[in-house]
Structure 1
Amino acid sequence: MSMRRNVRFHHRNGERRLSVSSDVSDVPSEPSSPGGRNGSVSKQSTIPEEEKPALSEYEKKKQAFITRTIWSFVMIAVFFIALFAGHIYIIGIITAVQIVSFKEVIAIANIPSKEKNLRFTKSLNWYFLATTMYFLYGESVIYYFKHILLVDKVLLPLATHHRFISFILYVMGFVFFVGSLQKGHYRFQFTQFAWTHMALYLIVVQAHFVMNNIFEGMIWFFLPASLVITNDIFAYVCGITFGRTQLIQLSPKKTVEGFIGAWICTIIFGYFMTNMLMRYKYFICPVNDLGSNVLTGLECVPNPVFTPHPYSLACIGLDKTIYIEPMQFHILSFATFASLIAPFGGFFASGLKRSFKIKDFGESIPGHGGITDRMDCQFIMGFFSFMYYHSFIAVYNATVGDIIETAINGLTVDQQLEVVRGLGKYLYNQGAALECLAAELKR
């Protein structure tokens, strides 16, 4: 058997070890892929090919299609159950997605043989992930729930010094990394350090903005995500229907016709989906109660972007006024970005995989590859949604949390007491019972 020529027995410290050499393991510049697909041999690999039951090409495609379809429905079901169960469940899914995606991206640049000799390489990767998530999650919680954190005796120091604590945690990891550098492994260690920070930026930081979109209102999370999925579906349908011209070499199956056709279909879908979501406060209201769900709902004064505004048609010679929600105009920008820009996140991921000669980032989802393979366009779309919302849609009014934060950080204790007495006197003059005020202060 030809395989025997590559099998050598090494004696080390009196022990016998089986080592298998291959072209992949002999080339140090080509890292192994996730799951040990390169440079590792399982027990099944020693079974002669003639003893393995060979499946026809049709049977392989059939099994792959069935597996892919089943898991597609499973993912859709889990997503909608979490969507209607409440914001906290969607946040949990986003957290799991960014952790698994980080793991998959880190794994493709990993070299097991070198990592084995460097004890803390993997630990440092996860430490930087934990530190980054602590900083970003803390920023979100403090911004949206400062009216709760800043009045709590235990959480107040953590909230007021959050950024400094996060910085110290990062510096500790940086110092430990420098202290762990070993002669002969400098290039690998610095490559891992740079690769880790690239993964943190491309995955964890962008996922942080997706998280903030959820706090601003479920529509700012669900609508962009659905636009990307819709665009991907119609790009495939339009591509196989009348696609002729190749769009980009990184994805040979992508066509210009499919690209443009999907753009038009995504705009149409976005218009009708927006019109439906705007009718439910559960989707358009910012989160003020993490325990809410589709049954309990949310209450708020809707953002003006969801309120019909009058538009005169005199500019086109018609003496008529129509009423349209401004969001219907904004959806054109969202759909256009999801169709023309977000796909380049997928092209970027394709180029990355080609550079490491792997098909998928991992095998987290049977039939679909890794989580990163499904989220490559979603991260940049979520980032865009956050920036667009805060630039053109958000209404900045003083909130209770803002006033409490200003009073705590900008006033002395005596001045804070003076504010409390002034508010108490005002409420008393307005007919509010002092007993109710005292009860609230004791809570």
Structure 2
Amino acid sequence: MAQSSVLRKRPNERKMESAEKQGRTDRSHSTTDGVSSTKPVFNEKESKRNAIIVRTIWTFIMLIIFFLIIGIGPFWIISAVLLIQVGVFKELISITTKKATNKDLRHTAYLNWYFLLTTIFYLQGRSFVRYSLENFIVSHYTGAIAINLLMNHKFISYCLYVLGFVFFVSSLRRGHLKFQFAQLCITHMILLLVVLQGYCIINNILHGIFWFILPVGLVITNDIFAYICGITFGKTQLISISPKKTVEGFIGAWICTTIMSVFLTFIFSNSAYFICPSANDVLVNCLSGVQCDPNPVFIRQIYRIPSYLSKIVGKDLIQIRPIYLHAIILSNFASLIAPFGGFFASGVKRACGVKDFGDTIPGHGGITDRVDCQFLMGSFSYLYYETFISTHQLNVGNLLQTVIINLSADEIVQFVKSLHSYLYKIGVIDEETFRKLNALI
């Protein structure tokens, strides 16, 4: 009986021994894991906190870089805008050309970049050549080439585009036609939304840094307050394509951005460096001591207060700079319309199945994720300036460009002699100088 009881216990003992071995194995694993346990264990709250820290640090880094570029002058601001255009184009194209690599249509990417360079040459080429001709080109041979580029710029741009069109048609492949034509349409849409609107932003810089920094500042302000008001009061979803956007955040940002527009205008409009046009000299900086005759919108003007308001404030007239009224209009666009550029970008990301356009900026995603609203705001600011602000004054650069493009060499000589004669008649130069100048040409 004792022997049988021992035999009956053996299966239990085997189970206990197996459990002990399993326990030792588990402990050995836990010991092994103990080495790796020094690594951080995934925690959703900790992950979010780290993401917020990285995002905040890079926000300050971007702000420092932004104000540094603003301080060193229009040339570098324009260069930064061009680089941002290229970066945004690269991110958007990279999302849509992945299938091209899989389908062995690698030439599609080269064609996209070709169209980008052609578009930039058409929009910015003339200004670049003219500025180089005025400031850098000294060789007669190089100068002649630059003048021909100026005179035939549109025709050259058209020929370059047609060359790209011919290359596209010749690259069509059976079985991939739908994809290739869709890619062509996407490329042109990106050029329209990014490069063309980037051209408008560059013109804003040439009108005066104020017309660049105020719209940019309004969009940034609206983005910040939309986030703050959204997490504080947000309950009602604004648009399905962006679930985190709320009506309360949208309205709160609108009110705060309108108030901030007055504050930002007060800061930037009191500096000649910001309000003076830089079309004639893009190499100035904040230490150059820029001076100019300000646009009338920056000068105080007298306005009559409506009768129903004059009784309340106790005044019939008010003296204010018109730029404050224009800034409020810009702030309304930045709050009510420009965010839809961001919603549009969100739709593109969802359509392409990506979370961000890239990982260029840690904690923020790609460049496109940060400037998606800026392009729409920049184009509106440009058209608003040209319609309601610009005085269309003739400057030396525009006049010189007109003379070079429209007059022959003999006509230019005659024009210069006429200027000498005019200066002599009004007493700016004496008779001897007048004769010497005419003798030289």
Q: Same fold (TM over 0.5)?
A: yes
Closer/same/farther in 2, CA of residues 128 and 109 from structure 1, 3 Å limit: same
- Deviation per CA, 1:76-108: give whole Å up to 9, x if none: 111111110111111121111111111111111
2:302 counterpart of 1:307: no
Deviations 1:126-149 (A, max 9, x none): 111111111111244478899779
* Mapping of residues 26-425 of structure 1, within 5 Å: 54-112=41-99, 114-115=101-102, 117-141=104-128, 152-287=143-278, 288-313=280-305, 315=307, 316-317=310-311, 318=314, 320-411=316-407, 413-425=409-421
**Cα distance in 2 for residues equivalent to 1:139 and 1:197:** 21
Pair member with larger Rg: 2
Alpha carbons of 1:411 and 1:118: their partners in 2 closer, same or farther (altered >3 Å)? closer
How far has the Cα of 1:150 moved from its partner? Answer: 11
Structure 1 residues 113 and 415: CA distance shift in structure 2, 3 A? closer
Give % identity.
49
Tell me, in whole angstroms, the C-alpha distance in 2 between the residues paired with 1:379 and 1:392: 20
1:366-392 deviation line (CA, Å, top 9, x unaligned): 111110011110010001000000000
Instruction: String of CA shifts for 1:397-429, please: whole Å, max 9, x gaps.
Output: 222334334444445555443332222122123
The answer as to whether partners of 1:146 and 1:405 remain within 8 angstroms in 2 is no
Answer yes or no: is the 8 Å Cα contact 1:217–1:286 preserved in 2.
yes
How far off is 1:298 after superposition? 2.0
- Cα 1:112–1:407 shift into 2, 3 Å: closer
Once the two structures are overlaid, the 10-residue window that deviates more, 79-88 or 426-435, is 426-435
> Partner amino acid for 1:215?
L
Letter in 1 for 2:295: N
* Displacement of 1:439: 7.6
How far apart, in 1, do the equivalents of 2:439 and 2:203 lie? Answer: 30
Deviations along 1:306-356, one digit per CA (max 9) or x if unpaired, are 010011336335554321111111111100000000000011111111112
Q: Alignment length, in residue pairs?
A: 394
| Two-structure CA RMSD over aligned residues (Å) | 2.8
Deviation at 1:271, TM superposition (A): 0.5
Unaligned runs of 5+ in 2: 1-35
Q: Residues 129 and 146 of structure 2 are in contact (CA less than 8 Å); yes or no, is this contact kept in structure 1?
A: no
Q: Which moved more, 1:321-330 or 1:401-410?
A: 401-410
What letter corresponds to residue 86 of structure 2 in structure 1?
A: I
Return closer, same or farther for 1:419/1:349 CA change in 2, 3 Å cut-off: same
Deviation track 1:194-245 (CA, whole Å, cap 9, x = no partner) reads 1111111111111111111111100000000000000111111111222222
Deviations 1:270-313 (A, max 9, x none): 10110121111110011021211000032221000101001133
Distance 2:88 2:171 in 1: 26
Alignment-mate amino acid for residue 159 of structure 2: I
**1:4 match:** none
Judge which range, 146-155 or 299-308, deviates more. Answer: 146-155
Contact 2:238–2:245 (CA under 8 A) maintained in structure 1:
yes
Q: Structure 1 stretch 415-424 or stretch 98-107: which is displaced more?
A: 415-424
Classify the secondary structure of the residue corresponding to 2:144: coil
CA contact (8 A) 2:218 2:334 kept: yes
| Cα distance in structure 2, aligned partners of 1:92 and 1:407 | 28
SS at match of 1:323: strand
In structure 2, how many angstroms separate the alpha carbons of the residues matched to 1:116 and 1:439? 68
CA distance in 2 between counterparts of 1:388 and 1:260 reads 23
Classify 1:144/1:303 alpha carbon distance in 2 versus 1 (closer, same or farther; 3 Å): farther
CA gap of 1:54–1:189, structure 2 versus 1, over 3 A, is farther
Aligned partner letter, 2:285? N
Instruction: Specify whether residues 180 and 113 from structure 1 end up closer, same or farther in structure 2 by C-alpha distance, changes over 3 A only.
Output: closer
Q: Structure 1: which 5+ residue stretches go unaligned? A: 1-49
Taking structure 1 as reference, are residues 148 and 249 closer, same or farther at Cα in structure 2, changes over 3 Å only?
same
8 Å CA contact retained: 2:234, 2:248: yes
Q: Which amino acid aligns with 1:376?
A: D
Residues 309 and 391 from structure 1, CA distance in 2 versus in 1: closer, same or farther, beyond 3 angstroms? same
Partners in 1 of 2:168 and 2:328 — Cα distance? 46
Alpha-carbon distance in 2 for matches of 1:420, 1:327: 40
In 2, the alpha carbon distance for the partners of 1:388 and 1:115 equals: 44
CA contact (8 A) 1:146 1:401 kept: no
Contact 2:211 2:381 in 1 (8 A): yes
1:366 partner amino acid = P
1:442 is displaced (CA, Å) by 8.2
